[in-house]
Amino acid sequence: MTIKPKNMPTLAEFGKRLPIGMRDEKGELQLKFALREWDWDLEEKIGESIENSDGNAMHHVTHVVAAVTKAIGGVDFDKLNDVQRRGLISRMYYSDVIMLYIWARIEGMGPNLKLETFNCHKCKKPIDFVGDLRHLEVMECDPKNLSRTVSLENGVKYANECRKKVIVEPLTWSFFESDDFVAAIQNPAKLKLLTMQHGVREVEGAPRPAYITREHARTMKVRDVIKIVKEVDQCGGGAVMEIEVACQHCKAKVEKELEWWRYGDFFGQSVQ
């Protein structure tokens, strides 16, 4: 479960904008975007794209976002071919891509999402729940200053010295599309290492750019690793893909993670 900051706005309060955004030709950040109307032609286009992809669930997200996005800031997607659209999406930050994906679901099929029935952890009775995506909480960030300095308790042995600080930045979508991510997703240790390798940009007092190898990780305590991974996860802001569910039987509350990467579930179960 994501460790969330307190007092976050809901998606409805945050509004229809990107957490980080894209810079235009003048170097100014653009946070606004426009999506296409989800008609049958778009449905067929997305279906064909997914059918012809390699089965990577993250590539499915890329195909959906590339097809449904009409414009981001001053970038007109109608002037780009399919390869250029997907390439642009790959270079965007993770939190921005997921925000586009959520809004594509809301505008195309409505905000209500039927969750799979599951048993309450307290009373053990089945919970049948429909979640409103507009109630998702959003972590905010400063798009003009995405780097974060992480102070480590025990440090990492890097370039023959113990270093106590690292600088991290958000992950781009290409990280999640990569074969390395797919291979590591079932192994928590590999995934943490991979996240550090792509999220750590600088190690205090060491030559740049930094690259955390397995040998570096072996000099670290796990609590420091988790601290780095948490900061990489949060520094780009974005929607927290969990909905608070209240059991209709005993009123117990539980955070339910949305399996957004499963296209058929996220876009297929609409309750108006």
Summarize pLDDT for 175-198 with one digit per residue, the tens.
Answer: 999 999 989 989 999 999 999 999
Q: Is residue 3 part of a domain?
A: no
Q: Is residue 200 part of a domain?
A: yes
Q: Is residue 231 part of a domain?
A: yes
Say if residue 154 is in the same domain as residue 46.
Answer: no
Taking the C-alpha atoms of residue 86 and residue 82, their distance in angstroms, rounded to an integer, is 6
Say if residue 164 is in the same domain as residue 109.
Answer: no
Q: Is residue 1 part of a domain?
A: no
Lowest mean pLDDT: which of 46-50, 104-108, 223-227? 46-50
Say if residue 117 is in the same domain as residue 48.
Answer: yes
Say if residue 31 is in the same domain as residue 100.
Answer: yes
What's the pLDDT tens digit per position in 22-51? Answer: 887 788 889 999 999 999 999 898 888 878
What's the pLDDT tens digit per position in 251-268? Answer: 888 788 887 766 566 776
Q: Is residue 103 part of a domain?
A: yes
Say if residue 134 is in the same domain as residue 49.
Answer: yes
pTM of structure: 0.89
Say if residue 166 is in the same domain as residue 70.
Answer: no
Q: Is residue 71 part of a domain?
A: yes
Q: Which residue has the tokens 């109307």?
A: 37
What's the pLDDT tens digit per position in 57-98? Answer: 888 889 999 999 999 988 999 999 999 999 999 999 999 999
In the predicted model, is pLDDT for residue 54 greater than 70?
yes
Taking the C-alpha atoms of residue 119 and residue 246, their distance in angstroms, rounded to an integer, is 12
Say if residue 135 is in the same domain as residue 244.
Answer: yes
Q: What is the mean pLDDT of residues 108-118?
A: 84
Where is mean pLDDT largest: 17-21, 43-47, 108-112?
17-21
Q: Which residue has the tokens 């991974």?
A: 229
CB crowding 125-138: b at 16 or more within 10 Å, else e:
eebebebbbeebbb
What integer pLDDT is reported at residue 4 of this predicted model?
A: 54
Mean pLDDT estimate for the chain: 89
Taking the C-alpha atoms of residue 9 and residue 208, their distance in angstroms, rounded to an integer, is 36
Say if residue 53 is in the same domain as residue 123.
Answer: yes
Question: Which is nearest to 62 in space by CA: 114, 104, 20, 27?
Answer: 104
C-beta pairs of 79-83 under 8 Å, 24+ apart in sequence: 82/49
Query: What domain range is 33 assigned to?
Result: 11-139+239-266
Residue 129 DSSP one-character state = -
CB atoms closer than 10 angstroms to residue 13: 11
Say if residue 25 is in the same domain as residue 64.
Answer: yes
Q: Is residue 78 part of a domain?
A: yes
Total domains present in the chain: 2
Taking the C-alpha atoms of residue 121 and residue 190, their distance in angstroms, rounded to an integer, is 30
Taking the C-alpha atoms of residue 159 and residue 66, their distance in angstroms, rounded to an integer, is 41
Q: What is the mean pLDDT of residues 12-28?
A: 90
Q: What is the mean pLDDT of residues 221-249?
A: 92
Residue 244 confidence class, pLDDT cut points 50, 70, 90: confident
Backbone φ, ψ for residue 259 (5° rounding): -85, 70
Say if residue 89 is in the same domain as residue 36.
Answer: yes
What integer pLDDT is reported at residue 264 of this predicted model?
A: 61
Residue 6 confidence class, pLDDT cut points 50, 70, 90: low
Alpha helices in the chain (DSSP H): 11-14, 40-51, 57-68, 82-91, 94-109, 173-177, 179-184, 188-199, 214-217, 222-234, 263-266
When computed from its CA atoms, the radius of gyration of the chain, rounded to whole angstroms, is 20
93 Cβ neighbours under 8 A, 6+ residues apart: 19, 20, 170, 171, 172, 173, 236
What's the pLDDT tens digit per position in 123-139? Answer: 988 887 778 899 999 99
What integer pLDDT is reported at residue 268 of this predicted model?
A: 63
Taking the C-alpha atoms of residue 91 and residue 177, their distance in angstroms, rounded to an integer, is 11
Structural tokens at position 239? 């929607």
Q: What is the mean pLDDT of residues 13-26?
A: 90
Say if residue 49 is in the same domain as residue 177.
Answer: no
Say if residue 35 is in the same domain as residue 133.
Answer: yes
Cis preceding linkage at 143, omega within 30: no
Q: Is residue 6 part of a domain?
A: no
Residue 207 DSSP one-character state = P
